[in-house]
């Protein structure tokens, strides 16, 4: 069975016919070509597939595309504006919060969702907010520092 899905992805509303069993991550990657969202475990354990749905981080590998009817979805491709990285992307870059980078889009989107909900998170709140994301090579210290740096920058410009 297929259904018509109307959804706003990265600020653009679109309507597509999608199989009822298509996962959101496959819709984004295969249907829309937004391959910044990664598939790591494909089972809800690594967070590589994290996107924002109505501003809240969600694992797109555990979400059916058709249930996104009318929702606002943001992927890693939406963050940079006019060629300028978002604060959280710059902080990951400057703090060396990535090595292979495979986990990075998921971490960045989880952090972006966290910072929108809480502009001044404690270290524990950051660790809790990123608790659904796994990095195999950087380690978490640099990632937490990157989120702290981005929070500071966002507070300065607020
Ligand atoms: S690919 Fe979705 S949680 Fe790992
Ligand atoms: S940077 Fe390689 S898995 Fe996180």
With a Cβ cut-off of 6 Å, ligand 1 is lined by 39-42, 44-49, 59, 61
Predicted confidence band of residue 42 (pLDDT cuts 50, 70, 90): confident
- The ligand placed nearest to the CA atom of residue 136 is 2
Residue 139 has pLDDT above 90, yes or no: no
Report which protein residue has its CA nearest ligand 2's atom 4.
Answer: 135
Predicted confidence band of residue 10 (pLDDT cuts 50, 70, 90): very high
Atom number of ligand 2 nearest to Cα 99:
1
How many CA atoms does the CB half-sphere of 132 hold within 13 Å?
Answer: 21
Residue 158 has pLDDT above 80, yes or no: no
Stretch 21-50: mean pLDDT: 96
Stretch 123-132: mean pLDDT: 97
140 CB under 6 A from ligand 2?
Answer: no
> Which tokens belong to 94?
């400057």
């Amino acid at each position: 069975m297929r259904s018509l899905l109307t959804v706003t992805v990265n600020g653009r509303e679109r309507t597509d016919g999608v199989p009822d069993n298509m996962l959101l991550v496959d819709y984004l990657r295969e249907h829309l070509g937004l391959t910044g969202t990664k598939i790591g475990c494909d089972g809800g354990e690594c967070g590589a597939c994290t996107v924002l749905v109505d501003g809240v981080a969600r694992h797109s590998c555990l979400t059916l595309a058709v249930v996104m009817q009318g929702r606002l979805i943001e992927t890693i491709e939406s963050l940079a504006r006019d060629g300028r990285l978002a604060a959280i992307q710059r902080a990951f870059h400057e703090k060396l919060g990535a090595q292979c980078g495979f986990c990075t889009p998921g971490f960045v989107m989880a952090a972006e969702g966290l910072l929108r909900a809480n502009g001044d998170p404690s270290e524990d709140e950051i660790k809790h907010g990123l608790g659904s994301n796994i990095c195999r090579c950087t380690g978490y210290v640099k990632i937490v520092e990157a989120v702290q740096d981005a929070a500071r920058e966002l507070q300065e410009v607020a």
